[in-house]
Amino acid sequence: MKNDIVFKNGFCWVDKNLLPYSLGIKDGKIQEISQEKIEGERVVDLKGSSILPGFIDSQVHFREPGLVHKETIEKGSRAALLGGITAFFEMPNTTPPTTQVERLNQKIDIGKKTSHTNFGFYAGATLNNLDELKKMIQVTGCVGIKVFMGSSTGSLLLEDDKQIEKILKETNCVVAFHAEDEALLKKSYKKFEDKDGLSVFDHPTIRSPEVALKATKRLIAIAKSSGRKVHILHISTKEEMDFLKDKKDFCTIEVTPQHLSLSAPDCYDVNGSFAQMNPPIRTKDHQDALWKALLSGLVDVAGSDHAPHTVEEKEREYPLSPSGIPGVQTMPSLLLDLCIKKRMTLEKVVDLLNVNPRKLFGLGTYGAIKLGNQANLSIFNLSTSFKMSKEWLSSQSGHSPFENQEIECGPKATVINGNLAMLDGKVLGTSKGEPININY
């Protein structure tokens, strides 16, 4: 039986190695993986590019509904597709926040109509919406619950440890946390409010390592008392990694490419508030600690924390400048570039962006390269330099601290549900994203 699509003259991630195999897709599924010539209605010459398991970005903010001047699901998913992402999980701090079933269903409907990739949405926790959370996590397309322990973009905030423990005890999904302690944060801002010449260089001090560490310690105590693991997002400090190294029975850990590849004060010298995010980009000693934790196996997943704002908003004088850095399009290439430069192995990248996210979120074999599996594939050229130009960047925000950076690899193609959706930087319009189905 002839394949619908064949990828030839490339390499394929098989048994944790890149091997010179062709891959054939029929009716949306992987039908052949072979070193022999295989036939297809459409044959794509990869010219040495590598077929990798479908990458997942498990933390993005696409701003729709309510904040569509910053980003939309269509624009954000287009950026994801162009960057080699096959599925995104979007956060609930939109306007209004995703705290009710009807608001979740509204997002899912928008995703079905406009998303270029597969998708899932988090339910947002508040002090009094546990009953709604229980309903939302039953909906196909809901990937978990998000708790903001410290205030960031949007209105969602839950500081109450007893309510957090109740949520953990009475649900069975991933519960992901923005771990900054709100009480300490308020004290810190108050301390700095009268400082002359306050600037973005003060951001890592105001949102200090102590602010992050206190929240993380609270979380682990809650996890122990509830008998549930917590998923801690965008860890940014050496103190947290030191604390968590013997706490893996109680948590899973995410890092971002921004914290792995940017450091203060240089990033603020070069980018100003365009490098401002929560938690902040910190000094090199913190970055080194994140790398040590990553390479030791302490870190489970990488998420972009794609958090777009307009250029005009980011240009406001600090602290009126909003926190957030776009990243869904640049994350895979940045991590693969670090792999090529021998900072980590290709297996580690695949674990961070496919194997571990699908284990954590109950995604079965999503994106795995195996016969009979639905084809969700991320294809990259790992041997040719690539420039992340302003013209290539597709987020509505129109900026990135990685703009014009030259790297040692770039996205070649993205396959969504068996459809060739992106090739050589062009969106082909052949994909229709679907809600992710969680199966714990």
Q: Which two tokens stand for residue 435?
A: 């809600």
**Which positions are annotated as active-site residues?**
305
209: three-class secondary structure by DSSP: helix
State residue 423 phi and psi, 5-degree precision.
-145, 125
Amino acid type, 28: G
State residue 269 phi and psi, 5-degree precision.
-60, -45
Are 3 and 26 a contacting pair, CB within 8 Å? yes
Q: Which residues contact 93 (CB under 8 A, 6 or more apart)?
A: 61, 124, 146, 148, 152, 153, 154, 155, 156
Q: Which two tokens stand for residue 439?
A: 């199966």
Q: What secondary structure, in 3-state letters, does 301-333 show?
A: EECCCECCCCHHHHCCCCCCCCCCECCCCCHHH
Instruction: Report the distance separating Cα 55 and Cα 385, nearest Å.
Output: 21
CA distances to 81, 119, 326 from 395, rounded to whole Å, are 11, 17, 7
> Nearest-CA neighbor of 80 among 346, 376, 337?
376
Amino acid type, 242: D
Helix 331-340 vs helix 73-83: angle between axes, to the nearest 10 degrees?
20
Instruction: Report the distance separating Cα 124 and Cα 289, nearest Å.
Output: 30
Instruction: Report the distance separating Cα 77 and Cα 64, nearest Å.
Output: 12
Task: Say whether the peptide bond before residue 92 is cis (omega within 30 degrees of 0).
Answer: no
